[in-house]
Amino acid sequence: MKGVDEAGAEKQAPEQQETPVLRPRKPAKPASKRVVRFLPLVLLTLVIAALAVPMGLGVAPGFLGPGFMGAAGTPAPKVPAWQQVPKQLSRTQIVAPLDASAPVPLPADVTNQLNALLTPDGGGDFTGVVEDALTGLPLYDRDGAKNRVPASNMKLLTAVAALRAIGPETRFSTRVLAGPSASTIILSAGGDVLLGDGPSQPSEVLGHAGLETLASDAAKALQGRGVKGPVTVQLDDGLFTGPALNPAWSLDDVAAGETAPIFPIALNSARTSPGATTGARPQDAALTAAEAFAEKLQAAGAAAGFTVVPGVERASAPAGKQDVLASVVSATVREQVDLMLETSDNYLAEVFGRMAALSAGKPGSNDGATAAVSAQVAELGIATDSMHLADVSGLALGNQVSARQFADVVRAITSGPDTRLRAALAGFPVAGLTGTLGDRYGDASTSQGAGLVRAKTGTLNSVIALSGYVVDANGRLLVFSFIGNGLTPGAAGNKVALDRSATALASCGCTGG
């Protein structure tokens, strides 16, 4: 597939350690000279200590409370046991594999608990499915086969398609090619929309490949070829076809920055800066990235003896064997999928759909993406006849997927035979800790699920969804999907209903004992 680079799967050689050099020890100075030399240092230390004591008495109460160290004659309070230094360290604990013989919850007990919790706040209704991950035994089913608008739970299907069709260790390359003349170069888009505008950052996912590094390497290559004078930069972003903006999306959502026209190259997932998560996006992310590259090349070219012609125009790379001047590669698909799930990145999801389509020999378009995702889900043995996909990020209201299909997809990820899908496990937000669940599970009714529930969220105006997995109180791995449609917009109780239901599964000992 054009633009997909497997170079990331290559093993890197371990760093070489320096061999210590032994040098002859210098003769020691006489003791009297050593004392004289260090006497000023000792005196300075005593002065600092003398000043530090009264300062510490004044500062410490500000950190430790008014009763600390006898402030104002108040005796120091007893330090709680959990704040004291332990007398001995506890034994190292290792997370053991799940016990396949752990008792399976009774469906009647699970149903009784969830029916009391999974209730809408105002209008609308919830559907839901809970399954035993190991056996697939259904433990709860409320209209589980009913089609629903799933919101961003759609990204679970897209994650599966990306990992299966593209491969977890694949990286996308962004290349600089020699153009039709010695003074023309072509920036060739290869599917990396997480480019940074600075140096490449190998330890990061966003900004793993940097335009500054790409420009620097390209400038060296041009200098090596003796290129002088103005250099023209062209852009080949023809990897994707069809409309860049999905007609199923609301233009209000586009204007609000929920997504943007989809291109196979972008900075910061088509955001204005690495830290931006809301607000307007560039409407031509590819050209924005190309112009940023040209600026970096202009800076690098100053030392290499050439300048860059202002402006970037689109062009097609020469057919046949291409002359690569420089290239940078993205983080792996595995790492990008985790970022997509954790942050619910609509733009990245749509790019994954098109890249999965290209990998399967389909057009890199909206229709190609939805067809590729549906096909990959079907190949897992999950019935897709009733499924309808209008996009692959979940922003479109035309998507129709059931809670049972989502539960089956989560089960395929956690315990199915295709082990490539395990790469998505780390991307599920953790209740109360990470991603789109980081600010949830903080009240008394849900705190028992914090750190235990791992699930993909989904939210639209009248839609809310939560699909994921949890280990119950008896050590049984459960997968679940809860979807609400037709809900009262802004009603706070709907999100709480989902979180309480997932928390109930985490603390469930539902075995009738």
Give tens-digit pLDDT for 192-204. Answer: 999 999 999 999 9
pLDDT at 76: 55
pLDDT band of 62, cuts 50, 70, 90: very low
pLDDT band of 4, cuts 50, 70, 90: very low
CA distance 210 to 359: 25
CA distance 372 to 392: 10
pLDDT at 123: 97
- Higher per-residue pLDDT: 275 or 143: 143
Reduce the DSSP state of residue 56 to 3 states and report it. helix
Are 235 and 314 contacting, i.e. CB atoms less than 8 angstroms apart?
A: yes
Are 437 and 455 contacting, i.e. CB atoms less than 8 angstroms apart?
A: yes
pLDDT at 154: 98
- End-to-end CA distance of the chain: give it in Å, rounded: 56
Please report whether residue 252 resides in a domain.
yes
CA distance 472 to 474: 5
Whether residue 236 is found in the same domain as residue 358: no
Residues contacting residue 335 through CB under 8 Å, at least 6 positions apart? 205, 208
pLDDT band of 81, cuts 50, 70, 90: low
What is the mean pLDDT of the segment spanning 71-87? 59
Domain containing 197 — which CATH number? 3.50.80.20
Domain boundary among 276, 301, 331: 331
CA distance 251 to 266: 21
- For residue 295, pLDDT over 70 is answered with yes
CA distance 433 to 452: 10
Whether residue 357 is found in the same domain as residue 315: no
Domain boundary among 331, 365, 393: 331
Whether residue 308 is found in the same domain as residue 343: no
- Higher per-residue pLDDT: 496 or 43: 496
Give tens-digit pLDDT for 331-349. Answer: 999 999 999 999 999 999 9
Give tens-digit pLDDT for 263-279. Answer: 999 999 999 999 888 88
- Sign for the CA dihedral angle at 267, 269, 270, 271 comes to negative
- Nearest by Cα to 174 from 143, 215, 204, 135: 215
The one catalytic residue in 188, 269, 330, 344 is 344
CA distance 137 to 139: 6
Q: Report the domain count for the chain.
A: 2
What is the residue range of 277's domain?
171-331
Residues contacting residue 301 through CB under 8 Å, at least 6 positions apart? 219, 222, 231, 307, 308
Reduce the DSSP state of residue 44 to 3 states and report it. helix
152 is catalytic: yes
The kind and range of the H/E element at 157 are helix 154-161
pLDDT band of 82, cuts 50, 70, 90: low
Q: Which two tokens stand for residue 263?
A: 């291109």
The one catalytic residue in 152, 269, 330, 415 is 152
Alpha carbon distances (Å) from 348 to 7, 265, 337: 21, 11, 9
Alpha carbon distances (Å) from 385 to 159, 214, 377, 401: 20, 45, 11, 10
pLDDT band of 359, cuts 50, 70, 90: very high
Please report whether residue 315 resides in a domain.
yes
Q: What DSSP string runs through 217-267? A: HHHHHHHHTT--EEEEEEEE-TTS-S-SS-TTS-HHHHHTTS-----S--B
344 is catalytic: yes
pLDDT at 288: 98
pLDDT at 29: 42
The bridge status of strand 229-236 relative to strand 306-308 is: parallel
Domain containing 149 — which CATH number? 3.40.710.10
Domain boundary among 313, 331, 349: 331
Whether residue 284 is found in the same domain as residue 323: yes
CA distance 213 to 430: 34
Q: Which two tokens stand for residue 248?
A: 């199923």
Spell out a b/e string for 198-218, using b for 16 or more CB atoms within 10 Å of the CB, else e.
eebbeebbbbbbbbbbbbbbb
